[in-house]
């Protein structure tokens, strides 16, 4: 798909469909001057049909009308961006995805986006939001679809998207397009990895994909296998992966912007990448395993975000760690009652082998801190308790530092991702106090997301630290404006926004 931006009247551009964003008011859409021109060209039928079909311009709502040769565009697609006081970036993101999916369903191969009036004030930001929505909304994972199925069930993507407005600053617009393209690639890389079957995305293959990405994106990379992990004392990730025929990997990535020297601020990112989770001897029920190929979504989000840093000219150094392992069952698997000594000397008493994500993150956090990080952010599909607390589609954030939490929440809002802060309730620390070790890896069902975060805090090495539990938002069970059923790539947009605004 090709994006471009031109200073031109969108009314005059020949295309398969013209997308017209409209703001919602109490009684229906506010018809912009441009929309009224289209309505006049269609003899008043556009507005009449929209009213008859109760199009209210709610965020992401669409309504399409053929032009029957009366305009250079074959169709008009109206898309709602909600009320003027709604989150503008999120509304434009959703509208872009919804309109693009509607255009694809109608068979359009080219579209023109008539930019809203507000684009005159912020062409770069508005185009970035709409283009990002379009790229995310059109995502399809078709790698394993047979040729016959693809011909009948997979819709062809748009080939070109043109943003047009009279007097548009093409320089600013082009910057918005380029930023959107980098974000789209990053999110869709995370989605591809998370949708991949566990049989084809083992820890070693995850490391290979990271190596390919690092080479293409100008990043430094180091991959540690079992012998290297043993040498640095990474007993937790070795223990979790010890029952699998696919040994674990710890993937270290570094991005350093031009002109930045050692010793300055370094953001540490840590991602859980359990490429398949049986639960180990604390085995999951059948239903609980169905989506466990996606238990590496945190690592995928970190990998996706890292892939875009060079293109987006991120101003800060980033040290990233992806903790990749399979949690399988065999004679070499770890057991309830075992004791693991962490890299920082903290001993972990195993109550549940299904609470393995926090174990690999323990090694990842300490390793990242030792490599010079001045703050830590980890992402993980960690607990069902976070899903119970916040439902689907919302990330839980825990943080030891209020400023870091506020900045991440602001970044999530700007990026159009939902995040809610939960407390690190000190009284619940007693639930993970060890009997024969320092801490237990499970505090039971009540407050499970909080006790998991409290566990991780023992390995944050006294740095400002935030933990994002993405268990409820890493995948969706139905198609939305921003993509099909399956992996969402959640966290990538928030991380990128945070790092770029750092």
What is the Rg, in whole angstroms, of the alpha carbon atoms belonging to the chain? 24
Beta bridge partners of 433: 439
Contact 130, 95 (CB under 8 A): yes
Backbone angles phi, psi at 223, to 5 degrees: -115, 125
Q: Three-state SS across 354-384?
A: CCCHHHHHHHHHHHHHHCCCCEEEEEECCCH
Backbone angles phi, psi at 364, to 5 degrees: -65, -40
Q: Give the max Cα distance, the chain.
A: 81
Which of these is catalytic: 209, 256, 272, 358? Answer: 358
Contact 162, 73 (CB under 8 A): no
Contact 305, 495 (CB under 8 A): yes
* 481 Cβ neighbours under 8 A, 6+ residues apart: 60, 94, 95, 97, 98, 101, 133, 137
Distance of CA 202 to the CA centre of its chain: 21
How far is Cα 121 from Cα 458, in angstroms, rounded to an integer? 47
Active site residue 284: yes
How far is Cα 248 from Cα 239, in angstroms, rounded to an integer? 9
Contact 238, 289 (CB under 8 A): no
Contacts 24+ apart (CB under 8 A), 217-220: 217/306, 217/307, 217/308, 217/309, 217/310, 217/311, 218/310, 219/253, 219/254, 219/255, 219/306, 219/309, 219/310, 220/253, 220/254, 220/255, 220/256
Which of these is catalytic: 120, 185, 284, 310? Answer: 284
According to DSSP, the β-strands at 347-349 and 465-469 are: unpaired
Report which of 225, 240, 244, 443 is spatially closest to residue 334, judged by C-alpha positions: 240
* Residue 483 DSSP class: B
Contact 358, 382 (CB under 8 A): yes
Burial of 287 (0-12, 13-18, 19+ CB in 10 A): exposed
Question: Hey, which residues are catalytic here?
Answer: 284, 358
């Amino acid at each position: 798909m090709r994006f471009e931006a031109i200073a031109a009247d969108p009314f005059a551009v020949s295309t398969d469909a013209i997308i017209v964003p409209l703001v919602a008011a109490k009684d229906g859409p506010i018809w912009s001057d441009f929309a009224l021109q289209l309505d006049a060209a269609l003899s008043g039928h556009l507005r009449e049909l929209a009213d008859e079909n109760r199009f209210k311009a709610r965020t992401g709502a669409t309504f399409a009308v053929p032009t029957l040769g009366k305009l250079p565009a074959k169709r008009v697609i109206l898309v709602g961006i909600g009320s003027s006081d709604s989150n503008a970036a999120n509304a434009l993101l959703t509208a872009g995805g919804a309109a693009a999916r509607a255009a694809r369903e109608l068979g359009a191969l080219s579209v023109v986006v008539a930019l809203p009036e507000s684009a005159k004030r912020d062409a770069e930001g508005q185009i970035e939001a709409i283009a990002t929505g379009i790229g995310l909304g059109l995502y399809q994972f078709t790698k394993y679809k047979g040729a016959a199925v693809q011909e009948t069930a997979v819709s062809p993507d748009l080939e070109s998207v043109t943003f047009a407005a009279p007097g548009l600053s093409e320089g600013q617009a082009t910057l918005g397009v380029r930023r959107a393209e980098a974000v789209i690639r990053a999110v869709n890389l995370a989605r591809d990895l998370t949708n991949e079957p566990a049989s084809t995305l083992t820890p070693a293959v995850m490391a290979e994909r990271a190596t390919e990405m690092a080479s293409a994106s100008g990043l430094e990379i180091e991959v540690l296998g079992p012998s290297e992990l043993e040498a640095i004392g990474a007993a937790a990730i070795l223990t979790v992966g010890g029952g699998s025929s696919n040994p674990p990997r710890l993937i270290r990535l570094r991005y350093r912007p031009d002109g930045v020297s050692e010793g300055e601020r370094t953001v540490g990112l840590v991602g859980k990448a359990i490429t398949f989770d049986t639960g180990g001897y604390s085995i999951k029920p059948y239903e609980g395993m169905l989506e466990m190929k996606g238990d590496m979504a945190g690592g995928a989000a970190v990998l996706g975000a890292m892939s875009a840093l060079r293109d987006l000219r991120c101003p800060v150094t980033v040290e990233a760690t992806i903790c990749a392992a399979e949690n399988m069952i065999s004679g070499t698997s770890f057991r309830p009652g075992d004791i693991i000594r962490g890299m920082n000397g903290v001993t972990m008493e195993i109550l549940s082998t299904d609470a393995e994500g926090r174990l690999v993150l323990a090694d990842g956090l300490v390793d990242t801190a030792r490599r010079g990080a001045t703050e830590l952010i980890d992402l993980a599909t960690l607990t069902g308790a976070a899903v119970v607390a916040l439902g689907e589609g919302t990330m839980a954030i825990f943080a030891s530092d209020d400023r870091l939490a506020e900045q991440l929440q602001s970044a999530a809002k700007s990026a159009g991702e939902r995040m809610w802060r939960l407390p690190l309730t000190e009284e619940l620390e007693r639930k993970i106090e060890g009997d024969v070790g320092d801490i237990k890896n499970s505090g039971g069902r009540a407050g499970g997301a909080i006790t998991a975060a409290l566990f991780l805090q023992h390995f944050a090495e006294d740095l400002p630290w935030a933990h994002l539990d993405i268990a409820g938002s890493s995948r969706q069970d139905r198609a939305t404006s921003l993509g099909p059923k399956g992996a969402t790539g959640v966290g990538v947009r928030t991380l990128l926004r945070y790092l770029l605004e750092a």
